[in-house]
Amino acid sequence: MPEIKPDPELETRELGPDPNYPYPNENMRRVCFIKNVITRPNIVVGDYTYYDDPAGAEDFEQHVTHHYEFYGDTLIIGKFCAIATGIQFIMNGANHQMKSVTTYPFSIMRHGWEKVTPTLADLPFKGDTVVGNDVWIGQNVTVMPGIHIGDGAIIAANSTVTRDIPAYHIAGGNPCRIIRPRFSAELIDYLLELQWWDWPAEKIFANLEILTSGDLERVKTIEPHTGSTPGQDEVKAAQVTEIFESETKVWRNEEEFFAGIPEFKPKHDPSVN
């Protein structure tokens, strides 16, 4: 990887680390802004999203497996996500045929077996894998193909995510299930409209105390950002947001989320209002 230096202007302004430099803290290189180390065209990552791995955070792409360009699927991760050690994004190339008598992939072994090479239409395809903005993913989480994780969601350590997770909900387990919403439905709606992750560095810096506090009423005092003409990075981030919002439904509670799935009847959780 060519040497990349921080933007001295941004450092002088002290509005936060340079999102275009891999290491926000030179003394803690286990944390890396991963958009700066991505080489695959089918992985898109927003500003300030980091991967934490003492064995080498720069090797994030090694944790995105079975990701073949001919499948046409993309891993999309928004801004300000925190991804812990041991993440595994399994993409569509891992899927085997399940409608045939055997799931064994004869064709990839060659030596004549390629005569039964399936077409793409024969293979299961779950679509893009999409992680929203401000998502926290704990250690050793596995995300299955085509999963959508909403803005502000939290995924507990050692989870296997096999279903979409709604915005601002906590989920965990194997398979991963919703534990509870983080906030009221009203506040979730407000935060999704606020989209603080799209603010310029100056506005984020000015509101850090509110964003990092537990005073949720103060959050409602922030005026939405109207913004100016976006630069290249902002346009790319907007495209990520557009893809995410167009492909992901925001569920408000566990009952609505699992509606239409007859084999699963969630138990009532008294902590969910």
- Between residues 109 and 267, which one has the greater pLDDT? 109
* Residue 17: per-residue pLDDT: 93
Q: Domain containing 159: what range?
A: 8-95+127-257
pLDDT at 230 over 80: no
> What predicted TM-score, i.e. pTM, was given to this entire model?
0.77
206's tokens: 């000015």
Please identify every residue annotated as catalytic.
96
Is 116 contained in some domain?
no
Written as one string, the DSSP assignment of the chain is -------HHHHHHTSS--TTSS-S-TT-TTEEEGGGG---TTEEE-TT-EEE-TTTGGGGGGGEES--GGG---EEE-SS-EE-TT-EEE-GGG----SSS----GGGG-TTGGGGPPPGGGS-----EEE-SS-EE-TT-EE-TT-EE-TT-EE-TT-EE-S-B-TTEEEETTTTEEEEESS-HHHHHHHHHH-GGGS-HHHHHHTHHHHTSS-HHHHTTSPPP------HHHHHHHHHHHHHHHH-----SHHHHTTT-TT--PPP-TT--
Is 80 contained in some domain?
yes
Is 220 contained in some domain?
yes
* Residue 270: per-residue pLDDT: 33
- Structural domains counted in the chain: 1
* Residue 2: per-residue pLDDT: 52
Is 273 contained in some domain?
no
> Span 65-88, mean pLDDT?
93
From the CB of residue 264, how many other CB atoms can be counted at a distance below 10 Å?
12
pLDDT at 250 over 60: no
Straight-line distance from the first to the last Cα atom of the chain, in angstroms, rounded to the nearest whole number: 49
Is 43 contained in some domain?
yes
Is 77 contained in some domain?
yes
Could you tell me the CATH number of the domain that includes residue 86? 2.160.10.10
Distance CA 249, CA 194 (A): 17
